[in-house]
Structure 1
């Protein structure tokens, strides 16, 4: 008889997770050179947000408990329900999902550009300031070929976090009455090396990023009850819970841009570590969460010159 490893047994619903939901973008595709004044950049990315915390919490036992409990009229609170809550929280904080986004950027003045990104549920606004390197264009270089650049930015993202409508997580959300909202701030510091004049052929970029997330979440169970020790009679409904939490994460990234003048491919990789801290659960319980997030992505980008920069 062939025995599958725990990871292989989890693959079917992990694959479902990869096909659903959205998350605030933390893949860094910027270079150290911002969009030149009066010009636009537009593009899109596909990738994966792989969270070790969500993978670790979604086990076969937790999945089975949620599926069984959702069919009952009343549910006796048991320690195993803590694991269902932890899995729901871990998914919202550190999802394992496929990601996609569309964005546009505009050069406001020399050394400063702004952008908007839509991640199919999450909205992001950001600005980047270039503190190092020339500010020309491939058509009108402002410095030597193969120059180095540096920039720093701030990204603000907001979303209503939601568990996907797939088996287990859909059951967990209905059973627990789970809701969540989150706001994310991301501060990337980017350095890059140009290929050709003013990144005409592309660039290689790398740097560090710090993010801060603010989460508001709640559980409102409608049919979960507690028992008095030694009694077999339901005595009271488990009260609902509403809580707030914030946590920080530090990561590193590298990306590559290859193309010519107006169109480029952008492979990128970012890795973050975060200690999410302690979270309140139903029935006065708590959970401690931490994990690593790995974010590979592949995108395309188009440069749109304007006015005298054509």
Structure 2
């Protein structure tokens, strides 16, 4: 079996990216269709990765040796950093790397729970409404509860983050030249269906569904020591401040495997996004699109007395 050099190079490149902690808004869908019962808590940790084809391809085009050489210059021309500007923005649109988060959920009503998640510096808040299936617990099953019952719910998640991750990339050496900043807000809406293993998911569940994510992003460059040639003249490159937004469409499958209080949660979420067209320095622009794969695995515990 022959493996292409390009494929090996891409894999090695992603492993290198994995060594830096990316600040990635968690978009993996790990919940089942059954919300947390009133008065009960769920807590857990989740490990995964954000594998986005567009930023991987853009960063792969940037040579680290070239970045080091450019950073040492007293003045830099735009054509020397044009590829790097595209890569920085691509990474801001969909940061690549490992993900880690811990979370807490609480049942506030028979069909509603809320949650808080902390993911590598990103604060995440969400709520979920259950429109299908019983609302009890294994100890106190709800009306219609049975082994193999179906559950359905819809959720809303909010996450906000900034471009602190630049300090962890090899492109940080160009920050004195480019002064790139970015802030993004993510709104995620999953529709989840799950089938119970045991009564009221006592032994877990298998879940699947569709998910939509909407991202608002503000980004800018405030370059220093960056110039362009205009005929025989040499001019400074003007700063740039822009806003944009894009939607991501995906599907997911996850499982919840365990017994009553402790569960293992494997999951896979896949998104497609047309990020759109983005203005860059020196009156240039670039269009981005690609797939994002988010595999994850976690451990979850449920506790609390609950209430009727």
**Superposition TM-score, scaled by structure 1 size:** 0.93
Instruction: After TM superposition, give the deviation of residue 162 of structure 1 in Å.
Output: 3.0
Change (3 A) 1:284 1:120: same
**C-alpha distance in 1 between matches for 2:62 and 2:108:** 53
**C-alpha distance in 2 between matches for 1:217 and 1:42:** 34
**C-alpha distance in 1 between matches for 2:216 and 2:93:** 10
Change (3 A) 1:145 1:7: closer
Give 2:236's aligned residue. 237
User: Which deviations, in whole Å up to 9, do the C-alpha atoms of 1:76-128 show, x marking residues without a partner?
Assistant: 221x5221111111111122200000100000011000000000211110000
Structure 1 runs of 4+ with >6 Å offset? none
Q: Is the 8 A contact 1:106 1:115 kept in 2?
A: yes
Change (3 A) 1:164 1:238: closer
Q: Does 1:276 align with 2:275?
A: yes
Residues 229-308 of structure 1 correspond to what in structure 2 (within 5 A)? 229=231, 231=232, 235-307=234-306
**C-alpha distance in 2 between matches for 1:106 and 1:274:** 32
Instruction: After TM superposition, give the deviation of residue 68 of structure 1 in Å.
Output: 1.9
Instruction: After TM superposition, give the deviation of residue 144 of structure 1 in Å.
Output: 1.8
Change (3 A) 1:307 1:137: closer
Give 2:140's aligned residue. 140
Change (3 A) 1:166 1:158: closer
Instruction: After TM superposition, give the deviation of residue 245 of structure 1 in Å.
Output: 0.6
Instruction: After TM superposition, give the deviation of residue 160 of structure 1 in Å.
Output: 1.1
**C-alpha distance in 2 between matches for 1:36 and 1:200:** 13
Deviates more, 1:6-15 or 1:63-72: 6-15
**C-alpha distance in 2 between matches for 1:193 and 1:68:** 57
Instruction: After TM superposition, give the deviation of residue 65 of structure 1 in Å.
Output: 3.3
Aligned length: 303
**C-alpha distance in 1 between matches for 2:208 and 2:290:** 22
Q: Does 1:122 align with 2:122?
A: yes
**C-alpha distance in 2 between matches for 1:167 and 1:4:** 26
Give 1:36's aligned residue. 37
Unmatched tracts of structure 1, length 5 or more: none
Is the partner of 1:193 in helix, strand or coil?
Answer: strand
Q: Is the 8 A contact 2:37 2:306 kept in 1?
A: no
Instruction: After TM superposition, give the deviation of residue 167 of structure 1 in Å.
Output: 5.5
**Superposition TM-score, scaled by structure 2 size:** 0.93
Residues 23-172 of structure 1 correspond to what in structure 2 (within 5 A)? 23-78=24-79, 80-142=80-142, 143-166=145-168, 168-172=170-174
